[in-house]
Structure 1
Amino acid sequence: MPRNNPGDGNRKPGSPTIKSVETSLEIVDELQRRENAQVTELANATGKSKGTVHKHLITLLKHDYVVKDGNTYRIGLRFLDIGGYALHQIDGLQYIEPKIDELAEVTGETVQFSVEQRGRSVVLDRKAGKKGVFSRARIGKRFYMHQIAGGKAVLANLPDERVRDIIDRHGLPPTTDETITSEAALFEELKEVRERGYAFNIDESTQGLRAVGVPLMGPSGTVIGAFAVAGPSHRMRGERFESEIPDVIRSVINELELNLAHS
Structure 2
Amino acid sequence: MSKKKSAHGGGKSSDNVIKSVETSISIIESLKQRNTARVGEIAEATGSSKGNVSKHLNTLAKHNFVTKTENGYELGLRYLDLGGFVRENLPESRVIKPKVLELAIETGEVAQFSVENNGKAVIIYRESGQQGVSTRTRVGRHLPLYQVASGKAMLAHMPQERVDEIIETHGLEPATENTITDRETLLEELEEIRQRNYAINDAESTKGLYALAAPIRTSNNRLIGACSISGPSHRMRGGDNIDQTAEILLSFVNEIELNLTYS
So what's the TM-score if we normalise by structure 2?
Answer: 0.93
User: Which residue does 1:158 correspond to in 2?
Assistant: 158
CA shift at 1:11, angstroms?
5.6
Contact 2:11 2:169 in 1 (8 A): no
SS of the aligned residue for 1:132 comes to coil
Quick one: percent identity of the two aligned structures? Answer: 47
User: Which residue does 2:252 correspond to in 1?
Assistant: 252
CA shift at 1:177, angstroms?
1.6
Residue by residue, what CA displacement relative to the aligned partner does 1:122-148 show, whole Å, maximum 9, x if unpaired?
Answer: 111000000100111111111110010
Amino acid at match of 1:250: L
Task: Give, in whole Å, the separation in 2 of the partners of 1:133 and 1:125.
Answer: 16
Amino acid at match of 1:134: S
Contact 1:92 1:260 in 2 (8 A): yes
Contact 1:65 1:75 in 2 (8 A): yes
Residues 63-142 of structure 1 mapped to structure 2, 5 A cutoff: 63-142=63-142
CA shift at 1:169, angstroms?
1.7
Deviation above 3 Å: which 4+ runs of structure 1? 238-241
Task: Give, in whole Å, the separation in 2 of the partners of 1:111 and 1:177.
Answer: 24
Task: Give, in whole Å, the separation in 1 of the partners of 2:93 and 2:74.
Answer: 30
User: Which residue does 2:6 correspond to in 1?
Assistant: none
Amino acid at match of 2:178: E
After superposing the two structures, state which structure 1 stretch, 88-97 or 153-162, moved more: 88-97
Residue by residue, what CA displacement relative to the aligned partner does 1:172-213 show, whole Å, maximum 9, x if unpaired?
Answer: 122112111111111111011111111111111111111111
Task: Give, in whole Å, the separation in 1 of the partners of 2:95 and 2:170.
Answer: 31
SS of the aligned residue for 2:143 comes to strand
Task: Give, in whole Å, the separation in 2 of the partners of 1:24 and 1:214.
Answer: 37
Provide the aligned length of Structure 1 versus Structure 2: 255
Task: Give, in whole Å, the separation in 2 of the partners of 1:244 and 1:198.
Answer: 13
The alignment yields a C-alpha RMSD, in angstroms, of: 1.5
Contact 2:113 2:227 in 1 (8 A): yes
CA shift at 1:59, angstroms?
1.0
User: Which residue does 1:3 correspond to in 2?
Assistant: none
In the alignment, structure 1 residue 214 sits paired with structure 2 residue 214: yes
Amino acid at match of 2:245: I
Contact 1:210 1:236 in 2 (8 A): yes
Specify every segment of 5 or more residues in structure 1 that has no aligned partner in the other structure, as ranges.
Answer: 1-8
Contact 2:10 2:119 in 1 (8 A): no
Contact 1:146 1:172 in 2 (8 A): yes
Q: Which structure carries more relative contact order (alpha carbon 8 Å, separation 6+)?
A: 2
Task: Give, in whole Å, the separation in 1 of the partners of 2:116 and 2:241.
Answer: 24
Residues 12-23 of structure 1 mapped to structure 2, 5 A cutoff: 12-23=12-23
User: Which residue does 1:172 correspond to in 2?
Assistant: 172
CA shift at 1:114, angstroms?
0.2
Task: Give, in whole Å, the separation in 2 of the partners of 1:174 and 1:18.
Answer: 33
Amino acid at match of 1:103: L
Residue by residue, what CA displacement relative to the aligned partner does 1:32-86 show, whole Å, maximum 9, x if unpaired?
Answer: 1221111122122222222222221111111110001124111101111111111
Contact 1:157 1:222 in 2 (8 A): no
Distance 1:167 1:241, change over 3 A: farther
Amino acid at match of 1:66: V
SS of the aligned residue for 1:235 comes to helix
In the alignment, structure 1 residue 193 sits paired with structure 2 residue 193: yes
